[in-house]
Structure 1
Amino acid sequence: MLIRLGYEIAIECAQPMPVISVLEICKERQADIQRQTKVLTSPSVPNHTYEDVHGNLCRRFMAPAGGFRILYDALVEDSGEPDELNALAKEMPVQDLPDEVIGYLLGSRYCETDHLGDIAWQQFGHVPSGWARVQAITEYVHNRLSFGYGYARATRTAAQAHDERVGVCRDFAHLAIALCRCMNIPARYVNGYLGDIGIPPDPSPMDFNAWFEVFLDGKWYTFDARHNKRRIGRVAIARGRDATDVPLLHSFGAHTLTGFKVWTYEQDSYPATPPAHGIDRTFDAQMLS
């Protein structure tokens, strides 16, 4: 299966400022990229990538004063299989966890385990450990929170989402992550592309998605508290303790978001030009063959 994906993001800067984007397709999916543009900017500015402490690919720019746009478009091969399911996957004792996983047991900026520990043990202490417990947490969060784009708030934490009972996909992920960590299950935040593949189309504008991964039986598994179902065509971008570690854009100064478009959908063949999502057609000539 082929998935067309990409983004166009525009900001307005009062003065020149450094900007870091965390928008590269994750390292393990790089080999699946069949065709892609370079990361294009308007106006064109030098940029380069580096790897952060979580293994994510980040890109550095010096954005000029005024309008600044970043665009990317790609075709990615995907198995077409839904998220892996392993109902027999077991929790690992903390003392047996790999060193690099321990950090995903700890509280973080948006996942305050100290506020949610009692709730977690009351709700899930009696549930069989392993996959069944994580699925119970996923279902609890899915039913606890009401989704709506109007509920978005950049400062909402997992505990606040639990109390307010509303949120967007990042809030669903944060609450599920925090509850898993309270139960000594390593959990991490993931953002990426998730199109309406294998499900009825959602009329809402496309956006990046957030979900979470848990470490069971020595490997990471995908769970999604927002949708609470195994989905087809996820393409991860970045992972971290929570959204603090993986902002789409981080500017070292004030900026205003003036444009935001995301696309991800299945297609049978690669067309000659990027999809018509309001993209300036001057970018077409820069598509890589």
Structure 2
Amino acid sequence: MHLSTVETVLEYQVHSPTHFCFNIEAAHWPTQKILGERLGISSGVTPHSAVDRASGNRYIRFDAAPGPLKVSYQAEVEVNTPDPNPALRETPVGEVPDEIFPYLLATRYCESDVLCGEVVRMFGALPPGIGRVRALVEWIREHIAYKPGSTHSTTTAQEVFEQRAGVCRDFAHLGITFCRALNIPARIVVGYVWFDEPPQDFHAVFEAWLGGRWVLFDPTGMAPVDRLVRIGTGRDAKDVAFATIFGQLQMTRKEVMVLEHDPRPASPVLAI
């Protein structure tokens, strides 16, 4: 069990009437428990919340008039992510459940159909199972340089594979693409987790469907996945953006903070 206090502060100068959709709250998820949380939004807006039942993703939507806008979120979350069985096997495509099947398909940022031949050449001869996924994760870690500023919001897995550099979402996209090319369902997960470098930010990892369950992997090796406070889960980055914005504005501040604690029997420090 791990206990983390997480916080996000986002500030904008809004130039025209704008609609916002934020995904920054800790998800309702079986492996984590929200002990307390607080959401703050500038006065003058009327937010409403929604939860995607399939993913557990939580969304905050509202319209904002021109002017300054501040959105903040704090939460204390208990995370209980079990260690995976080292003998987990891959599931034959014909036995993949209907609700998992979409995570086998190529998507905008994960062109598993394009890279299929190359991926099978690289990893197809390895014994199927969690060991093969760990092998492709290790390949990504060894051959892709973590380089902030080397990619942008529309960079795809194929482009990262070719240029050999990216950031955490690019590493996750490449892991997803490799898995799907091997007929292993995979999806992106974004959350809060503490790590040394670079400065704190939202962190992207991926999950592979093995042995009838989802297993987390972090190709960057920057943080232990069993401590990740999950925010969003989806097919690729377009499903888990922390902010989707319809309008003209300038971001003036973005801070993400994570503080890990030893588990302790105490009352929540944040009010719901």
TM-score (norm 1): 0.86
Segments of 5+ residues of structure 2 without an aligned counterpart are none
Alignment match, 2:4: 3
Moved more, 131-140 or 56-65: 56-65
State how far apart, in whole Å, the 2-side matches of 1:113 and 1:8 are.
35
- Write out aligned runs for 1:1-289 (5 A): 1-28=2-29, 32-37=33-38, 39-52=39-52, 54-79=55-80, 84-196=83-195, 201-202=196-197, 204-227=198-221, 230-267=224-261, 288=271
State how far apart, in whole Å, the 2-side matches of 1:30 and 1:142 are.
26
8 Å Cα contact 2:49/2:60 also seen in 1? yes
State how far apart, in whole Å, the 2-side matches of 1:28 and 1:51 are.
11
> Which secondary structure does the structure 2 equivalent of 1:250 belong to?
strand
> Which secondary structure does the structure 2 equivalent of 1:20 belong to?
strand
Distance 1:212 1:85, change over 3 A: same
CA distances 1:8-61 after superposition (whole Å, capped 9, x unpaired):
011222112111011121111696222221x21123521111134644211111
State how far apart, in whole Å, the 1-side matches of 2:33 and 2:26 are.
10
CA distances 1:109-165 after superposition (whole Å, capped 9, x unpaired):
100112210111000011110101111111111112100222241111000000000
Matched length? 268
Displacement of 1:231 in angstroms is: 3.9
Segments of 5+ residues of structure 1 without an aligned counterpart are 274-286
> Which secondary structure does the structure 1 equivalent of 2:45 belong to?
coil
- How well do the aligned residues superpose, as a CA RMSD in angstroms? 2.3
State how far apart, in whole Å, the 2-side matches of 1:148 and 1:69 are.
29
> Which secondary structure does the structure 2 equivalent of 1:135 belong to?
helix
Return the letter of the residue paired with 2:206. F
Return the letter of the residue paired with 1:18. H
State how far apart, in whole Å, the 1-side matches of 2:186 and 2:226 are.
21
CA distances 1:229-276 after superposition (whole Å, capped 9, x unpaired):
744421110111100111110011222211100011213578999xxx
Distance 1:271 1:50, change over 3 A: closer
Displacement of 1:64 in angstroms is: 2.1
Displacement of 1:208 in angstroms is: 0.6
